[in-house]
Amino acid sequence: MEKSGGRPKKETKGFSKEKTNGFENKETKIKPNENVNENENVNVNDNDNENVSDSCVDGLQKVINFYNDNIGLLTPYGREVFIDYLQEMDYDVIIYAMQKAVEANIRTIQYIKGTLNNWSNAGVKTLLQAKEENKSFKNKEKKEAVKETLQEQTERYRREWGLTDED
């Protein structure tokens, strides 16, 4: 039995009630062409890493998108780090460093900064230079591995034959 009388329910601007399966469902809606009062509570995210204004550094949005899609949510600190690197190198160099981090499965801002610092110290400014620096680094690692292997083989040979350093 429904009660009658009492004060009528007040309509709340911007809200509509919908009944589904006997339950009331409140949804926040703003009607088209409806003016929103500046004093009303409107949920606005001031820390929006999804979109960057046109006045920001070229390529920053691409860097942010790559980071968010492949590494994780970019923090304000990470954003500032990338802005600093964009002052001295192309955005695609930064994205390449992030690709290297993903390939190595070391998805941290520290790893990316280490790569970018190495390239910065080597004077890398373009993607082509970064790829060449990466290639020379890999060749250097291979040479060191071969050198170490040769030294180990020499030491094993000396031990087996009972030779000393004077021999």
- Domain edges within the chain: 60-142
For residue 127, give Cα distances in angstroms to 37, 61, 69, 159.
Answer: 49, 17, 20, 48
Beta strand segments in the chain, E: 15-20, 23-28
The architecture that CATH gives domain 60-142 is Orthogonal Bundle (1.10)
| pLDDT for the residue 19 | 45
List % helix, strand, coil for the chain (3-state, nearest 5).
Answer: 50, 5, 45
| pLDDT for the residue 111 | 96
Query: Phi and psi of 97, rounded to 5°?
Result: -65, -40
| pLDDT for the residue 1 | 52
Closest CA to 125 of 59, 77, 75: 59
Cα dihedral 106→109→115→120 (10° resolution): 170
Give, for all 167 residues of the chain, the pLDDT tens digit.
555 555 555 554 444 444 444 444 444 444 445 454 544 444 444 445 555 444 345 699 999 999 999 999 999 999 999 999 999 999 999 999 999 999 999 999 999 999 999 999 999 999 999 999 988 877 776 666 666 677 777 787 778 777 776 65
| pLDDT for the residue 148 | 66
- 3 state SS of 28: strand
- 3 state SS of 18: strand
